[in-house]
Chain A
Amino acid sequence: MATKIELSNYLDGLRQRQINFRDLTAAFRENDMPTAVGWSKLLPKFDSLPADADLDTYVEVLKSLYRNHVLYSERAVVVFQFQTEELAPLVHGIDSWVETDSVFAESFPFAVQEETLKTLSSDPVYTRIVASKSGENGRTMICCSKRYVRSREFIDYSEFPEAVLKALAAYDEIVGVRSRFVQAFDTLNFRVSEDRIVLTIDLCGNLSLQDVGRAIIVHVDMLQDRLASNGFKGDVGELRVNFFPKIASLYATADGVVEHIGHVTTSGSNKSERMRAKDKDLRKEPYHQEGLKAINGGTDLFSISKQWDAGGYYIGIEIPGTHKQAGDPSAKVQVAVIDGCRNGTDFRKVLNYLVQ
């Protein structure tokens, strides 16, 4: 029998994870749950639910939303490709990797409080595998980490004292940079039948590429140790799939909508083109088309964002190269970002564009 406290925990968890509020609203509407334009108006509606409200259904919906957000929300993705039939013996006994007595395990599936996070080690970064589950795509392990994030927030300066306002009069916006610790829920998916491990890094929306790189190294080191003790002789880091060649094929494949590309033209300019509306295809934009025509299509792509309609919302990939890599046949980009996914089906669909 679900309780209001459970309801409240999941709502708080989703808010803390900054779930896309439109996704939340869509799920609530589908299930005849209360909706509102924002959290400040939504939470009182749940606080004042009538006694006969269907809490069991509400909690199931929230649980599913929360689980899907932990596993499939915006993530950086790295794929380790092993030799044929190489992976199966290496994952023998991996369930023992789960540590049920860690700080993270105690509060799982929810995050620990920031005050607790601050007390955990930063060097080495406190990382623990908290759960393991089998599914149609192999075994997935959830690996929680203490992670340092910086976020920019725009400050409402209208309440500042007069003297401060005068000093800041020349500025249009005042931006604050907030640093804090959060608990990341990264995943390792062992796809033995494909000889692949798929690593996803959580909360990548708040991380720079360098921060994502650091988080990846923590997992690569952990995998190296664990797989080596099962007989692996190679270098896990060397097995990362290079996504750079996918950029051109994603652009060339007519499906979906290209939102952004970075490219260097044969006429000598670096270009970054982005559609303002997320559902409009850059490839059909007149300015883009005429520009390419003028140089006979002579341009080298180095980054791309592409999206697909998943039925009222968009799921997508970003492969973030740099202009220095344009036209380089040995260019490597070994991390991609998958976002917009609401569930495993969405995620697998997008992942397939990377690995197939």
Chain B
Amino acid sequence: MNALTINDATSRIKDDLSQTPNVADACYRVLDWVCTQPEGARSHVSLQRLLKASAVDDLSELAPVIRYLTGARVPLFNVVYEFVEGDDVERVDSDALYEAKHTGEFCHPLTGEVVPDYESKIVVYFAVSDAARSIGGAGR
């Protein structure tokens, strides 16, 4: 896996998002924000935090920013899904959710039993990816 540097990230944002300058600007703001976060404080970034960092007006404007910054060109973040029910907190990968969407059934990761209304128990947040570890902090 190639490390993503801040120069890579900014030049790709500039090239790839030249037709959508608002999205590009929001991506730069998020990148700046990541640079200011200490290394140990990048593993649980909430949607609210990203919304503030991007300075966009609402969640629908955040969608293209997230798509791009979790994509193949600038893989700044991983999307993290957790199944939370009572005291149980278990990571779930997106492929399990894809299968659940298609089969209509999501099975509890620990008990294996079908969970009704499972989307109300899946929380979402972001973690700076391994590829982007060198961005900001000591590697800025």
Contacts and interface: CB of A to CB of B under 8 A. Distances in A.
Tell me if chain B binds chain A: yes
Interface string A194-211: 000000000000000000
A20 interface: yes
Contacts, number: 56
A18 interface: yes
B109 A276 contact: no
Interface string B87-123: 0010100001001000101011111111011001100
B74 to A, nearest CB: 24
B91 A40 contact: no
Interface stretch (B12-20, B28-36, B38-46): B38-46
B41 A40 contact: no
A18 B86 CA distance: 17
A39 B112 contact: yes
Interface in A18-50: 18, 20-22, 24, 37-42
B85 interface: yes
Contact of B105 (A24, A40, A154): A40
Contacts of A21: 107-112
Contacts of B117: 154, 156, 158
A156 B111 CA distance: 17
B111 A18 contact: yes
A285 B91 contact: no
B38 A40 contact: no
Interface of B: 38, 40-41, 43-44, 82, 85-86, 89, 91, 96, 99, 103, 105, 107-114, 116-117, 120-121
Given A39-B113, A158-B117, A276-B89, 14 more contacts: A21-B107, A21-B109, A21-B111, A38-B113, A38-B114, A40-B113, A40-B114, A41-B105, A42-B112, A152-B86, A154-B85, A154-B86, A156-B116, A286-B40
